[in-house]
């Protein structure tokens, strides 16, 4: 009995030692795998930030998650990513989470993607520093990474109501101005754009016009409109994804003005522009507009 007891005890001890060894190996393997994953994610986000800094879209486009393209369309994403250029862009990884399902949501549509890693980063964009959580999808063997973004960021960034004043520097007239910009759908190419434009004061040498509404479209360059207005004539305007905008009007009705042009920008919630008016008879007038997003 004693001999058999020693044999059984030896077997138990062997199993215990083997179990501990296997557990230690599993822990070490998991730790090594986690270390490799963290290093790979850091390297991947380093490639993403390098592409944004250099304005080189090749890597960014080839590693964009397919759900993003399905939501916005290839043309919208290509236009968005091609225009990405931020020399200050940087993502310093602070922590990498475990893979799991991630819900990618845009207006009117959601997609659930498996094996997505949440990554907390210290980010730098446009010279500003902040903490953010990015999401990186893993797929295939060897592991391939892909990233998520909002391909309509550059077209929907201007949505809002801007309130301020206009000043005619030639004749000394002035008045209030309100510009309301709306983008329909998810902001992809082809989505509708509505701009409500309200002026007060002595406009074009007469009474203020009723509020004007311009309906345009999201194009690869930004927000665009071309059409006619009962007050401003035949109007064309473009608000580029960079924030720069131009507007022209010809065949202006009313008997005082023949044409006008304006150029300016929307930057950091502020709209500023200069305008030039050609009057019938050869005279001209120049002025400025300034408004802030309310």
9 band by pLDDT with thresholds 50, 70 and 90: low
The reported pLDDT for the residue numbered 2 is 47
Question: Are residues 201 and 250 both part of a single domain?
Answer: yes
pTM higher than 0.85, yes or no?
no
Which alpha helices (DSSP H) does the chain contain, by range? 2-54, 57-62, 66-72, 74-82, 153-156
Give the tens place of pLDDT for each residue, 10-67: 554 444 444 444 444 444 334 434 444 789 999 999 999 999 999 999 999 999 999 9
Which tokens in the block code for residue 111?
């997609």
Q: Are 55 and 22 in contact (CB under 8 A)?
A: no
154 band by pLDDT with thresholds 50, 70 and 90: confident
The reported pLDDT for the residue numbered 135 is 97
Question: Are residues 47 and 141 both part of a single domain?
Answer: yes
Looking at per-residue pLDDT, the higher value among 16 and 133 belongs to: 133
Domain end: 151, 167, 199, which one?
Answer: 151
83 band by pLDDT with thresholds 50, 70 and 90: confident
The reported pLDDT for the residue numbered 66 is 97
The average pLDDT across 198-222 equals 93
CA-nearest of 79, 234, 57 to 147 is 57
Let me know if residue 187 belongs to a domain.
yes
Indicate which CATH number applies to the domain containing 82: 3.10.450
Which tokens in the block code for residue 166?
């206009």
Give the tens place of pLDDT for each residue, 178-191: 999 999 989 999 99
CA-nearest of 227, 140, 229, 155 to 193 is 155
Question: Are residues 79 and 95 both part of a single domain?
Answer: yes
CA-nearest of 122, 115, 121, 112 to 98 is 115
Let me know if residue 204 belongs to a domain.
yes
Q: Look-up: residue for tokens 């009057």? A: 279
Domain end: 151, 180, 206, which one?
Answer: 151
Please state the domain count of the chain.
2
Q: How far apart are CA 257 and CA 248, in angstroms?
A: 13
Looking at per-residue pLDDT, the higher value among 35 and 210 belongs to: 210
Highest-scoring range by mean pLDDT, 12-16, 160-164, 216-220, 281-285: 160-164
**Which residues span the domain enclosing 250?**
156-293
Let me know if residue 63 belongs to a domain.
yes
Give the tens place of pLDDT for each residue, 222-276: 999 999 999 999 999 999 988 999 999 999 998 899 999 999 999 989 999 999 9
Domain end: 90, 122, 151, which one?
Answer: 151
Let me know if residue 135 belongs to a domain.
yes
155 band by pLDDT with thresholds 50, 70 and 90: confident
Cβ neighbour number for residue 131 with a 10 Å cutoff: 10
Indicate which CATH number applies to the domain containing 234: 2.40.128.20
Q: How far apart are CA 71 and CA 50, in angstroms?
A: 25
């Amino acid at each position: 009995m004693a001999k058999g007891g020693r044999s059984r005890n030896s077997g138990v001890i062997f199993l215990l030692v083997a179990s501990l060894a296997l557990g230690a190996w599993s822990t070490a393997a998991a730790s090594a795998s986690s270390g490799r994953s963290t290093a790979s994610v850091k390297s991947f986000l380093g490639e993403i930030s390098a592409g944004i800094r250099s304005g080189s879209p090749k890597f960014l486009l080839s590693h964009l998650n397919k759900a993003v393209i399905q939501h916005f369309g290839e043309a919208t994403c290509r236009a968005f990513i091609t225009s990405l250029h931020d020399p200050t862009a940087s993502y310093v990884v602070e922590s990498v989470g475990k893979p799991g399902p991630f819900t990618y949501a845009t207006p009117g549509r959601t997609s659930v993607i498996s094996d997505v890693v949440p990554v907390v980063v210290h980010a730098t964009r446009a010279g500003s520093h902040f903490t953010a959580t990015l999401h990186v999808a893993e797929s295939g063997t060897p592991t391939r990474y892909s990233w998520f973004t909002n391909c309509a960021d550059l077209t929907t960034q201007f949505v809002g109501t801007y309130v301020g004043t206009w000043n005619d520097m030639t004749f000394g007239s002035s008045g209030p101005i309100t510009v309301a910009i709306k983008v329909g759908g998810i902001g992809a190419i082809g989505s509708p754009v509505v701009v409500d434009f309200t002026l007060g004061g002595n406009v074009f040498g007469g009474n203020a016009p009723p509020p004007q509404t311009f309906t345009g479209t999201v194009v690869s360059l930004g927000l665009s409109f071309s059409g006619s207005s009962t007050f401003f004539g035949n109007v064309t305007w473009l608000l580029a994804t960079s924030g720069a905008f131009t507007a022209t009007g010809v065949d202006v009705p009313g008997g005082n003005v023949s044409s006008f042009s304006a150029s300016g920008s929307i930057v950091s919630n502020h709209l500023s522009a200069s305008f030039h008016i050609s009057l019938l008879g050869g005279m001209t007038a120049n002025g400025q507009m300034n408004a802030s997003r309310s």
